[in-house]
Amino acid sequence: MTEPALPVDSETRQSRILAIARVEGRADVAALAEQFGVATETIRRDLKVLAERRLVKRVHGGAIPLESAAFESDFGFRSQVDLLQKQRIAHHAVGLLHGAETVFLDEGFTPRLVAELLADRTLTVVTASLLVAQALAESSTVTVFLLGGKLRGRTLATVDSWALRQLAELRIDLAFMGTNGITATDGLTTPDPAVAAVKRLAVERSRRSVLMATDAKFGVTTFIRFAEVADFETIVTGTELAESDAARYTALGTRVVRV
């Protein structure tokens, strides 16, 4: 027979809920209520507090963790969260090539989706992402340049001095970028300084830059800023982002497209 859970205060319970969400990729209301021996309404209130702190995003039946200075999701997690929104974003982003012949594709799942859509185009693609390069490996029309450097196991992308030296020698028509967080005051941020350096240089070495970001990225600040909102010609996001929120970013000097 399972022993009843020992009561804990709300702050401790919320910390444990967040840890569970980050390990398992999701916090389920019913399961947490049983685990902590409290009512489902208590868990919903906990999730509301965590959502207000921008640590989780509420979804049906529970919540999923948001990225922060202390937490970065891996590729497996990214490939399952907001999938339909990411597919819409990728499809629209490909339509923004506008004659670009050289393209930088950032690390992350949405850039991987873009890579799959570009496989039949005649292009040169530069990337730090092994997964992006893999998606284009069998293309007969795309030339792929994979930046060397230290491999990050979490995202399967290269960073540090080798990658930066190679990237610094290039002049790229268009960069398709992702971000861990974006706010009007802090710009675009990511948890890892080495990743931020690659992202920053990719934007600098590209004539045009397009940001691809789901609604969950907005209002989130992580650790290292790598770009300003105005550095991007266009931000492509989902209709899940409120029009009023999109307008705030448009006012900073970019075009926000909700798809």
pLDDT for 3 equals: 46
* Mean per-residue pLDDT over the chain, rounded: 91
Per-residue pLDDT, 2: 43
Total domains in the fold of the chain: 2
Residue 156, helix vs strand vs coil: coil
Q: Which two tokens stand for residue 153?
A: 């196991």
pLDDT (0 to 100) of residue 4: 46
The verdict on 38 and 155 lying in the same domain is no
Please report the DSSP string for 48-92 in residue order.
HHHHHTTSEEEETTEEEEPPBTTB---HHHHTTTTHHHHHHHHHH
Whether 70 is in a domain gets the answer no
CATH number at residue 61: 1.10.10.10
Q: Are residues 154 and 243 in the same domain?
A: yes
What pLDDT was estimated at residue 58? 87
Packing angle of the helix pair 10-24, 40-52 (nearest 10 deg) = 80
| Residue 114 and residue 128 in contact, taking contact as beta carbons nearer than 8 Å | no
According to the model, what pLDDT value does residue 66 have?
79
pLDDT of residue 153: 87
Residues 108 and 233 in one domain: yes
- d(C-alpha 88, C-alpha 110), whole Å: 10
Same domain, 155 and 210: yes
pLDDT on residue 192 = 93
Same domain membership, residue 226 and residue 194: yes
pLDDT at site 92? 98
Domain hosting residue 19, numbered range: 10-65
Asked whether residue 241 is assigned to any structural domain, the reply reads yes
* Residue 73: predicted pLDDT: 62
Residues 236 and 129 in one domain: yes
| CATH assignment at residue 166 | 3.40.50.1360
Strand partners, 48: none
In terms of domains, do 51 and 92 share one? Answer: no
Distances (CA, A) of 77 to 2, 82, 95, 240: 31, 10, 26, 19
Residue spans of the chain under pLDDT 50:
1-4
